[in-house]
């Protein structure tokens, strides 16, 4: 395990499928655009998130420092 600094790219979203309708594991990246990707399916909702999806670059990035462990 490693420490992840704020702003670091954690995952580049590359192997995704566009969904015609939202699903339990899809992620909304536009007004009417949802995608599914195996890595993203493991994300959970949080009222105090530590990561976000940058929809223009399709990257999962750290919102703040994340300690190893």
Per-residue pLDDT tens for 48-67?
Answer: 999 999 999 999 999 999 99
Query: What whole-number distance in Å separates Cα of residue 18 and Cα of residue 40?
Result: 13
Per-residue pLDDT tens for 36-51?
Answer: 999 999 999 899 999 9
Virtual CA dihedral for 32, 36, 37, 41, nearest 10 degrees? 110
C-alpha 57: how far from chain center: 11
pTM over 0.75: yes
């Amino acid at each position: 395990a490693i420490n992840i600094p704020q702003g670091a790219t954690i995952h580049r979203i590359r192997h995704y499928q566009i969904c015609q309708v939202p699903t339990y594991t899809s992620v909304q990246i536009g007004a009417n655009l949802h995608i599914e990707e195996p890595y993203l399916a493991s994300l959970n909702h949080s009222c105090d998130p530590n990561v976000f999806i940058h929809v223009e670059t399709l990257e999962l990035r750290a919102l703040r420092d994340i300690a190893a462990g």
